[in-house]
Chains A and B, each alone.
Chain A
Amino acid sequence: MDDLPTNTPPGAIAVRCVGVQKSFAAGETTVRVLRGTDFTARAGEMTFLVGPSGCGKTTLISIIGAILSADAGSVEVLGFDVRRARGGRLADFRLANLGFIFQQFNLLPALSAAENASLPLVAAGRSTRFGERAAAALLARLGLEQHLHKMPAQLSGGQQQRVAIARVLVHAPRLVICDEPTASLDAESGHTVMELLREVALAPDRAVIIVTHDTRIFEFADVIHHMSDGRIERIEGKSIAPSEAHA
């Protein structure tokens, strides 16, 4: 019971990073991207991570998402010590608990919208029929009931991103991580996608982390972490207790 979590009470801390460090080798030298970064995200909230290009946002959420390993510090995601596990166990953890939304939608071009959205369920061993039924229900909630059997190439960017959201939410992950979800979209589609994300992805026991440059969508944030040069510099938002701002 020490690793795979089953439940997160509302408002509980979903992600806690303390003193995370990460460097990349760049030829002869190493680039220190994260220099003891602290970061927290709560269930029931949309946590934004913003900052100038290259400050380490993607690196940080990759570590939180258990697809990149930190060099130092502690990373606890949904009560799971990500740094202690590796390989297959991490994959299982992601499959069971996490959902990713990317700037590039990364849909499989050969699969229809419904099939794409059913992938996490199918990968977790559910039947294709079960998966597609669940996916269809979600796609309908996201306003895509007319497009279930279309291929990604037949859909607009906003529609593809909605399929990607359905793919994430189909297995009800308790942490959704988005990197620039609206960067490839026009203002209106971006707005729609964010509204849907808020409506569908957010729940009292679910956390959403969004990395973005897009100031047009800041209004959807509960908390905004401003990052600069590998550290969180400033936190603004409704639910910040002063003690946490410098945890």
Chain B
Amino acid sequence: MLVVALRMLFGDATKCLGLVFGVALSTLLLCQQVSIFFGLLSRAASVIDDAPEADIWVMDPAVKTIEVPYPLRDTVLQRVRGVEGVAWAVPFFKASTQVRTRRGTLDNAIMIGVDDVSLVGVPDRFLLGTLDDLTLPDAIAINPAGFRLLFPGEELDVGRELELNDRRARIVAIVDASPAFSANLTIYTRYSLATRYTNNGRNTLSFVLAKAADPSTIAAVADRIAAEMGLKAVERATFRRETIGYILATTGIPASFGTVVLLGVLIGIAIVGLTFNQFVMENIRQYAALKAIGVRNGWLLAMTLTQAAFVATVGYGIGLAAAAGFFATAGQSDALRGFRLLPEVAVGVALLAGVIVLLATTVSLRRVFFVDPATVFRG
């Protein structure tokens, strides 16, 4: 009888396609939007992710996100180094700045200044040049997307010079930084240079990055730094969570993505529900005839669920493949780089697709259940 159910479904190619299309569309929309949502969120924490050596981030107690640092006193660095259980501590400078592109337009850039000696905080993914090149005079490293922004249509290259705040800066390396949330261009340089490249000139310490001597004591060391210095000191994962939480709380991103997700579900339910309902309506006499023959409701339920399962599975598969295709191709562009189809999202959307199809078939199922077999005798 289950084969009969599928044959009934295939027998109406238009509706079968419509049903599968509805689920596929919802799946694509949900997978794509939810993955981009999580991609965007992790972009917000890209600078934190690119400094995995640091166990502890030390900052002004008022700071809630890496996007908005507040300057610390210079003396903080030495004092953190003196706290018991700290293996090392380095200065970390982060600021937003503007750069003039070759076309003459201004663009936003993230300026990151790392410890002059250890260079901790530069991701170890060099496409051109090396980490040591950053010790050269006026040396900066930039990310490939930033290079293409500054020099559109040109091959990645080192040796070019830029003016940053009327100072000469020489690109000595191209480093594959994680895509950031607030700018396409990320500039890495030594701490001493970074303060000069940005307009304030003063020695402004954004964060102190610290390593615990014993990995099992990270939390305790962070607490000790905070207590002894009256500053905020948190583990890397905590700061990452806070930064993402800040985006969630202060931007319209969750609301707008939430709306899209809701729409995706509703569109799916609408398309699948209406199409399936029409399908059942057109076959209602057949269902009544099956009932008259003596097919029990349990079988009709199983038949309907088989049809629903088929639609859900095939539609989901197509939608998932389309989403994967989207990220495989569009994901190569600078704007969408780093966005990928997350397995958790794929699983979550699979459940949603199931819910969509179940909700959409429930109404029709009622029709099948309550159709009066006596209707088969009426004209």
Contact = CB atoms under 8 A, between A and B. Distances in A.
B292 A104 contact: no
Given A108-B286, A128-B3, A92 B294 contact: yes
Given A106-B376, A123-B1, A94 B294 contact: yes
Contact of A95 (B11, B295, B377): B295
Given A91-B294, A111-B4, A106 B11 contact: no
Nearest to A183: B379
A62 interface: yes
B374 A123 contact: no
Interface of B: 1, 3-4, 7-12, 283, 285-286, 288-299, 372-374, 376-379
27 contacts: A61-B377, A67-B291, A67-B292, A67-B373, A67-B376, A88-B298, A91-B294, A91-B295, A92-B294, A95-B293, A95-B294, A95-B295, A99-B293, A100-B292, A100-B293, A103-B379, A104-B285, A107-B286, A108-B4, A108-B7, A110-B10, A110-B11, A119-B4, A119-B290, A120-B294, A122-B1, A122-B4
A5 to B, nearest CB: 15
Given A61-B377, A111-B4, A122-B4, A93 B12 contact: no
Contacts of A68: 372, 374
Contacts of A124: 294
A123 B293 contact: yes
A62 B377 contact: yes
A93 B11 CA distance: 30
Nearest to B373: A67
Interface of A: 58, 61-62, 65, 67-68, 88, 91-96, 98-100, 102-104, 106-111, 115, 119-120, 122-124, 128, 167, 179
Residue with the greatest number of chain B CB neighbours at <10 A, chosen from A98, A99, A106, A167: A106
B293 A94 contact: yes
Closest 6 CB pairs of A and B: A110-B11, A95-B294, A94-B294, A106-B289, A67-B373, A62-B374
Residue with the greatest number of chain B CB neighbours at <10 A, chosen from A100, A108, A109: A108
A209 B256 CA distance: 65
B107 to A, nearest CB: 60
Contacts, number: 90
Contacts of B10: 110
A62 B10 CA distance: 32
Contacts of B7: 108, 110-111, 115
Given A106-B289, A106-B376, 19 more contacts: A62-B377, A65-B292, A67-B376, A68-B372, A88-B298, A95-B294, A98-B294, A100-B289, A100-B292, A102-B376, A103-B379, A108-B11, A108-B286, A110-B7, A110-B11, A111-B7, A122-B4, A123-B299, A167-B293
B158 to A, nearest CB: 67
A166 to B, nearest CB: 13
Contacts of A91: 291, 294-297
Contacts of B291: 67, 91
B3 to A, nearest CB: 7
A122 B284 CA distance: 20
B4 to A, nearest CB: 7
B289 A88 contact: no
A11 to B, nearest CB: 26
A62 to B, nearest CB: 4
Contact of B377 (A58, A99, A119): A58
A167 B3 CA distance: 18
Residue with the greatest number of chain A CB neighbours at <10 A, chosen from B292, B293, B294, B376: B294
Contacts of A96: 294
A62 B1 CA distance: 25
B11 A104 contact: no
Contacts of A102: 289, 376-377
A119 B374 contact: no
Contacts of B296: 88, 91-92
A54 to B, nearest CB: 12
A99 B376 CA distance: 13
A100 B376 contact: yes
B303 to A, nearest CB: 10
A108 B294 contact: no
A179 B378 CA distance: 9
A102 B113 CA distance: 85
A34 to B, nearest CB: 13
